[in-house]
Amino acid sequence: MAVVTATTAGREAAAPPGDCLAANEWICGEYLRTRSQELVDATLQHVGITAASVLLGLVLAVPLALLARRGRRAAGTVLGLTTALYTVPSLAMFSLLLPLFGLSAAVVVAGLTLYSLTVLVRNVLAGLEAVPEEVREAARGMGYGPAGMLLKVELPLALPAVTAGLRITAVSAVSLTTVGAIVGHGGLGNLIYSGMKSVFRAEVLTASVICVLLAVLADLALLGLQRLLTPWTRPARPPRARRVPRRDAAAPPAKEAV
Amino acid sequence: MGVLADTWAWLATASHWTGPDGVWTRLGEHLYLTAVCLVISCALALPAGIVLGHLGRGGALAVNISNAGRAVPTFAVLVLLLMSPLGTHGQWPTVVALVLFAVPPLLTNAWTGMREVDRDAVLAARGAGMSGGQLLRQVELPLAAPMVMTGVRSAAVQVVATATLAALPGGGGLGRIITAGFARYDTPQVVAGAVLVAALALLVEGVLALAQRSADPLRRTRPTPVPSLPDNQTGR
């Protein structure tokens, strides 16, 4: 790698003024220009791993939350297990999954999916349990069966809690993906890792900053999605607030559509 | 499964436990780092969170610091600190990183615990003529103790996890067994190291959960709670 030689201490002192790559500066426009493809590839891998794990986590969290709803004991078991998973440090988690998936992105996706269950199961459960009993009764009276009730009444009403969980999960998944560098699939973490090995400051700092930006973007995007999907949770304007005194009694749009 | 047997064989080999790269040395480093950093973090964050919560100030800081801690990758901070001027000072980059990631859960939980103290209890104490300091020590702090302990528990688990990651940029601790295994393409060693790290993390969490239960002054009057939500934890 040319960069490794260009960033060794010997070259640093002799670096011509204005050449930030040779001077191994933290912020380097030349690095952004010459390595933009590498940065884009790493960012895409990062987003892909994060998105896959959060979506997979959500798909698994709903049935687990339904299982936990069946009683105190089931809830204790499911929540206890998913909380214990969160206790395992990421480096150990990826290492434990290594024999199952080999050196692949699947190790990272599986590990992050397991982490995401901790918050997602809890929030889906909390969202479902917060559905007012009157709403359930009204839905039953309108002829909803258990499946219809879940899909068209309960899950839509649980959306604020679910999206709140998704925001936490996505932000921590973005940050944890970097540790995937240990198996060579860490998105921007790969650049941080190689920058660490070759003491390449611009590479480490740039990848770290993009990573934080990705986390903030994911948070904002999911906040936007939540606002879009759950218009009834937005604080009503003052004159309307008087007409709808209890926001938790407001009906979800999905229900009115039937 | 072959890997399981090989991992067991690795763990059962006495020579892997002794010597400068042995499990006992790495475990000692890990526990030492964890204890030192947890004490420093508590000394920094708990007084700040408790006083701010008592005064009802700094809510935005107390809440947002946890969100920020979650968004910033631990691995990136470890590497950045190592490459900063601090990097030439032995263990200091690791210590600073561990403290940085332990402070958010401590501060947020201490602040939230103080704010969630029953306002009627606070008003009654004021009516009984307690000063601000008495109120803090005799009413608010005991009632906030479970939440403060939740923070200590989150922070401890966080520190154990971050100390593991510190092995990537060459720090000590049990993570070194994992990284050394990767360097040698020795899967049984990687898995054995991971088992040890996971066991340590679960043990720390379990011991502190018991300590937390005994720190709750109202524990006899409450039903057994479901495990607390770790949503104020930062990265692993």
pLDDT, tens digit (0-9, with 9 covering 90-100), for B37-82: 999 999 999 999 999 999 988 888 888 898 888 899 999 999 999 9
Give CA separation, A210 vs A35, A43, A50, B74, B212, in Å. 14, 8, 14, 14, 38
Between B212 and B130, name the one with better pLDDT. Answer: B130
Query: What ranges make up the beta strands (E) of chain B?
Result: none
* Span A239-250, pLDDT tens digits: 544 444 444 444
User: Is B215 a domain residue?
Assistant: yes
Q: Nearest chain A residue to B196 by CA: give it.
A: A92
Domain span at B111: 2-219
Segments of chain A assigned to CATH 1.10.3720.10 = 41-230+246-256
pLDDT at A1: 38
Question: CA B92: distance to chain centroid?
Answer: 18
* Span B79-106, pLDDT tens digits: 999 998 887 888 888 999 999 999 999 9
Q: Could A212 and B73 be called an inter-chain contact, meaning their C-beta atoms sit closer than 8 Å?
A: yes
* Span A15-72, pLDDT tens digits: 566 688 888 888 888 888 888 899 999 999 999 999 999 999 999 999 999 999 988 8
pLDDT at A127: 94
> CA of A92, closest CA in chain B: separation in Å?
4
SS3 (DSSP) at B8 = helix
User: Is B20 a domain residue?
Assistant: yes
pLDDT at B217: 61
User: Is B226 a domain residue?
Assistant: no
The residue with tokens 């206890």 is A80
List of long-range contacts for B171-175, beta carbons under 8 Å, 24+ apart: B171/B33, B171/B78, B171/B91, B171/B93, B171/B94, B172/B26, B172/B29, B172/B30, B172/B33, B172/B91, B172/B94, B173/B26, B173/B29, B173/B30, B173/B33, B174/B23, B174/B26, B174/B27, B174/B29, B174/B30, B174/B200, B175/A89, B175/A91, B175/B30
Give CA separation, B166 vs A34, A115, B96, B157, in Å. 30, 20, 11, 14
User: Is B227 a domain residue?
Assistant: no
pLDDT at A193: 94
Q: Could B202 and A216 be called an inter-chain contact, meaning their C-beta atoms sit closer than 8 Å?
A: no
> CA of B172, closest CA in chain A: separation in Å?
14
Superfamily holding A41-230+246-256: MetI-like (1.10.3720.10)
ipTM of the complex: 0.86
User: Is B11 a domain residue?
Assistant: yes
* Span B153-209, pLDDT tens digits: 999 999 999 999 999 988 889 999 999 999 988 999 999 999 999 999 999 999 998
Q: Provide the number of CB pairs (under 8 Å) joining chain A to chain B.
A: 157
Q: Could B80 and A195 be called an inter-chain contact, meaning their C-beta atoms sit closer than 8 Å?
A: no
Of B72, B201, B230, nearest to A89 by CB-CB distance is B201
CB B49 within 8 A of CB B107: yes
Q: Could A88 and B201 be called an inter-chain contact, meaning their C-beta atoms sit closer than 8 Å?
A: yes
User: Is B153 a domain residue?
Assistant: yes
Give B88's contacts in chain A (Cβ within 8 Å): none
pLDDT at A252: 41
Return the top range by mean pLDDT from B178-182, B210-214, B220-224. Answer: B178-182
Question: Taking 70 as the threshold, does the pLDDT of residue B226 lie above it?
Answer: no
- Percent of chain A exceeding pLDDT 70 equals 84
pLDDT at A7: 43
Domains contained in chain B, number? 1
Non-local (6+) Cβ contacts of A244 within 8 A are A236, A250
Other Cβ atoms closer than 10 A to B110: 29
> CA of B108, closest CA in chain A: separation in Å?
15
pLDDT at B221: 56
Helices B187-215 and B2-12: crossing angle in degrees, nearest 10, is: 70
pLDDT at B67: 86
Give A212's contacts in chain B (Cβ within 8 Å): 71-73, 76
Q: Could B236 and A174 be called an inter-chain contact, meaning their C-beta atoms sit closer than 8 Å?
A: no
Name which of B1-15, B123-137, B148-162, B204-218 the model is least confident about.
Answer: B204-218
Give B70's contacts in chain A (Cβ within 8 Å): 168, 171-172, 175, 215
Of B71, B74, B187, nearest to A98 by CB-CB distance is B187
Q: For residues B156 and A148, what is the distance between their CA atoms, to the nearest angstrom?
A: 44
pLDDT at B220: 53
Mean pLDDT, residues A122-138: 93
Chain A CB within 8 Å of residue B83 CB: yes
pLDDT at A173: 95
Q: Nearest chain A residue to B231 by CA: give it.
A: A119
Question: Taking 50 as the threshold, does the pLDDT of residue B225 lie above it?
Answer: no
Mean pLDDT, residues A126-130: 93
Instruction: Share the mean pLDDT of chain A.
Output: 85
Window 152-211 of B, Cβ < 8 Å to A:
157, 160-161, 164-165, 167-169, 175, 178-179, 181-182, 187, 190-191, 193-195, 197-198, 201-202, 205
